[in-house]
Amino acid sequence: MANKEISNLKFALGILLTIAGFVIAIIVNIAVPQVADVNIKEYEYFGRLYNFNDLYRYIVLCIIAIFVVIGVFSYFDEDKRKKYVKKAPFRFALGLALALWDVLGTKYLLLPQPFFPGPAAIVETFLNEPAFVLENTLYSLRLYAAGFTVGVIFGVGSGILIGWFPKVYYWVSPILKITGVIPAVAWMPFALTLAPTPFSAAVFLMTMCAWFPIASFTAQGVQSTAKVHFEVAKTLGANTAQLVFRVAIPHAMPQIFGGIAMANGFMFTTLVMSEMMGQPGGLGYYIQLSRVWSAYYKVFAAIVIMAVLFSIILAVISAVQHRVLRWQKGLVK
């Protein structure tokens, strides 16, 4: 009983510590006067006027609410509860860093301007042109979804063929090794020239950068399947298709997800670079457009959106991986 009370006390302190840092950030934004001469614009939404400080405080409040909800759900799982409490000091420090950044970048403008705007100035982007930001964000998501889908299908499919058939390995493996060391951006001139549209060119580049890690990891997973597993399956009457889809591929699943996780970062980088060098839209295009006009607060806003999107994508992939590989729980670290 005493251990449970101590655990509950630590969890409550973790919640309070998490909230405290961001509450300090809000208090600092309200209490510290705007010393630097900054033109604070007001925007009308839903019949009310908002400035960048208002939106900044609302966003910080949303962050607090998100962490509280995560904490509530983690309370019912011992492992998640421990992880939540362990990361509470980092979240507290994050709130303090946000407050310091607000003072230096917004209230006093002590950071080099316009290259390092404060957080309130960055969120003004969402008041200034929310429709344009949303349009470019959706374009990036659509392009990423197409590139990720094609890259995973092509990488896993070719990896299975390379790992299962010796003749395919003989002919395709050298090509895979050669193309694997070539950066995807090196193919950009050919992609933009030969592809019918900039969108398909970007999908091709993302597929190329994903092919090497996914196909290599998949092939290694298939090839590393123990022969005894195939022998047992054959004894039970399994045919070739069943050996591939019910023995080799399930065994290779950890390696397949490892390849996808590695390729995901490459694909996201290629996505942004292709948008900056030839796409009619997307967050990379938005960054390039904002940089030309020296609107660096918009550049930072796009970077923040990218970070959030990439974190969500990683969380989704991790959730799918844990679901598919749930049989590993208790067997691996």
Is 75:1 a contact under the CB 8 Å cutoff? Answer: no
The arithmetic mean of pLDDT across residues 230-253, rounded, is 90
pLDDT at residue 1 is higher than 80: no
- Over residues 278-297, the mean pLDDT reads 89
Provide DSSP, 196-212. SSHHHHHHHHHHHHHHH
Q: Is the dihedral of CA 255, 261, 265, 271 positive or negative?
A: positive
> In 26-72, which ranges are E strands?
43-45, 48-50
Q: Which domains does the chain have, with CATH numbers?
A: 2-122 (no CATH), 130-328 (1.10.3720.10)
Task: Give the distance from CA 109 to its chain's centroid.
Answer: 31
For the cut 70, the answer to whether the pLDDT of residue 2 exceeds it is no
- For residue 51 the two structure tokens come to 């400035």
The mean pLDDT value for 60-84 works out to 90
Mean pLDDT, range 153-182, rounded to an integer: 90
Q: 194-213 pLDDT, tens per residue?
A: 888 889 999 999 998 899 99
Split at pLDDT 50, 70, 90, the class of 331 is low
Tell me the range of 48-52, 131-135, 263-267 where mean pLDDT is highest: 131-135
Question: Per-residue confidence at 332, pLDDT binned at 50, 70, 90?
Answer: low
Average pLDDT, the chain: 89
pLDDT digits (tens, 9 = 90+) for 133-164: 999 999 999 999 999 999 999 999 999 999 99
- The residues near 149 (Cβ < 8 Å, ≥ 6 apart) are none
C-alpha triplet 97, 25, 307: angle, nearest 5°: 55
Identify whether the C-beta of residue 50 lies closer than 8 Å to the C-beta of residue 43: yes
**Where residue 193 falls among pLDDT bands split at 50, 70, 90?**
confident
Identity of the highest mean pLDDT range in 60-64, 108-112, 290-294: 60-64
Query: Tens of pLDDT along 95-122?
Result: 999 999 999 999 998 988 888 899 999 9
At 3 the pLDDT is 67
pLDDT grade for 48, boundaries at 50, 70 and 90: confident
Name 49's bridge partners: 44
The answer to whether the pTM exceeds 0.75 is yes
- Report residue 4's pLDDT band, with 50, 70 and 90 as the boundaries: low
CA-based R_g, the chain, Å: 25
Distance from C-alpha of 197 to C-alpha of 251, rounded to nearest angstrom: 39
pLDDT of residue 276: 84
Show the tokens assigned to 79. Answer: 């492992």
DSSP of 58-71 = HHHHHHHHHHHHHH
Out of 53-57, 71-75, 230-234, 328-332, least confident range: 328-332
What was the pLDDT predicted at 330? 60
Q: Specify the range with the lowest mean pLDDT, choosing from 6-10, 38-42, 127-131.
A: 6-10
Whether 153 and 299 have beta carbons less than 8 Å apart is answered as no
